[in-house]
Amino acid sequence: MLVFLGENDAPSMLSYAATGAGYGIGFFLPFVAATFALGFIVQEMAARVGAVTSHGHAELIFDRFGSFWGRFAMADLLVGNFLTLITEFIGVRAGLGFFGVPPAAAVGAAVVLVLFAAATARYATWERITLGLALCNAVFVPVALLSHPDWGAVGRAMATWSPLPGGLRPDTVTLMVSNIGATVTPWMLFFQQGAVADKGLEARDIGAARWDTAIGSAVAALFGLAAIIATAPLFAHGISAQNWQAAQFAEAIEPYVGHAGAALFALGIFEAGAVAAIAISTSSAYAFAEVMRVPHSLNAPLREGWVFYAVLAGSAGLAGLIVLAPGMPLQEVVIIVNVVAVLAMPPALLFLLLIANDAEVMGPYRNAAGWNVAGVGVTAFLILVGLAYAANVL
């Protein structure tokens, strides 16, 4: 569940908000729901591989395909994760900006949360803290209810998948790929597999892990759809929200959801960025420490796992400092991160498919034929949309 709630991060929720403001209630509701189905296919495989092997994704790539590909996968992830961390702190800064909190205080609070969760040196405690914060993603549901949507229109949109207004324009393609990138990203895969191994799950726990992943996908989809519905009144009233940030969305929807609703929306963006910062920095630490063959567990004491904790804290701290740099082109950074995330996913997913089909590694738990069809389909789809997105933006 945590991996999906963590992926409902600040850029993702802002992408859903922009979708509601730009297109209202229609095509994108079932489209976004479908992207979470894609995410489930990927994360189920990652959880299954982690439970069977008790190893993280980067470590398995290193072991099965050699040091070059292991280091390549690690470097690919670390670069993408660091850029994504920057966008999370952009969301944190923008979310608390609605309340007049200075940028340095907002970003500092999020970095402290990252360090506090890791300082427990126990995976179970870290998970409880992070999951407790992640469940605050539910605040988008009351905001959606306060917007008084036409529930008949919502039902028709989900049932009929209405066509896109205006057809498939370049800006629409960008938004579609942005929404895909909101649910399927490399850090999720590395985090899921590493966390399953760190938690000590085994092959006998695969069924429970599968249910946990499915429930997380469904709950996160509900919260994402709520963000679309919450900002749909902007579309109905012809208010353009292009290139807006969290505080601007919160201020714009205030006439339709009230001050309480706007405040909840802004808090939701802060929560989304903070939780993702915790999960993504941990994902980076898992990958680096796995490939470097040093302790890579949230259960490790600081003296033993200092490399792991240094990567975790250093990536979060440095990303936070960059966001506070004067003149930082924040909107351009978000666009670049989306391109990198979508283009980086197919290689990571290809390695996952190869490992999940390795009889020597997985034994009777390797992929069934139907799961391979689904996995190859997701990989091919991501390659196509990634190329389309890169061509459209760059």
Which residue has tokens 């899921």? 192
pLDDT of residue 336: 66
Could you tell me the pLDDT band of residue 392, with boundaries at 50, 70 and 90?
Answer: low
Tokens representing 217 are: 């996908």
In this prediction, residue 222 has a pLDDT band, given cuts at 50, 70 and 90, of very high
The Cα 374–Cα 101 span in angstroms is 45
Q: What is the C-alpha separation between 341 and 78, in angstroms, rounded?
A: 11
Q: Tell me the two tokens of residue 53.
A: 């092997």
What is the reported pLDDT for 3?
A: 79
66 burial type by CB count under 10 A (0-12 exposed, 13-18 middle, 19+ buried): exposed
Mention every residue, 6+ apart, whose C-beta is less than 8 A from residue 19. 28, 32, 175, 179, 228, 231
Amino acid present at 121: A
Mean pLDDT of the region 279-307: 89
- Strongest mean pLDDT among 66-80, 116-130, 134-148, 320-334: 134-148
Q: Region 336-352: what's the mean pLDDT?
A: 77
Cut 0.75: pTM above it: yes
- Using CA atoms, how far residue 185 sits from 102, 257, 345, in Å, is 30, 32, 6
- Furthest C-alpha separation in the chain: 60
- Start-to-end Cα distance in the chain: 34
| Higher pLDDT, residue 311 or 94 | 311
> For residue 246, what pLDDT band results from cuts at 50, 70 and 90?
low
Residues 318/83, Cβ–Cβ less than 8 Å? no
What lies within 8 Å, CB to CB, of 41 at 6+ separation is 371, 374, 375, 378
Give the separation between CA 140 and CA 215, rounded to whole angstroms: 18
Instruction: Return the percentage of the chain with pLDDT > 70, whole number.
Output: 90
> Which structural domain range is residue 327 located in?
2-393
CA–CA dist 152, 134 (Å, integer): 30
Count of domains forming the chain: 1
Q: What is the pLDDT of residues 20-63, one digit of tens each?
A: 888 888 888 998 898 898 889 989 999 999 999 998 888 899 88
If you ran DSSP here, which 8-state letter would residue 205 be given?
G
- What CATH number does residue 365 fall under? 1.20.1740
Tokens 């200075």, residue? 102
Residue entry with tokens 């900006």: 97
- pLDDT, tens only, 151-171: 998 898 888 877 776 666 767
- Average pLDDT taken over every residue of the chain: 86
Q: What is the pLDDT of residue 335?
A: 60
CA nearest to 52, candidates 203, 154, 199: 203
Q: Give the whole-angstrom CA distance, residue 186 versus residue 49.
A: 15
pLDDT at 309 over 90: yes
Residue 53 confidence (pLDDT): 92
For residue 290, the 8-state DSSP code is H
| Model pLDDT, residue 267 | 93
* pLDDT per residue as tens digits for the range 95-116: 998 899 999 999 999 999 999 9
- C-alpha 338/C-alpha 87 separation (Å) is 10
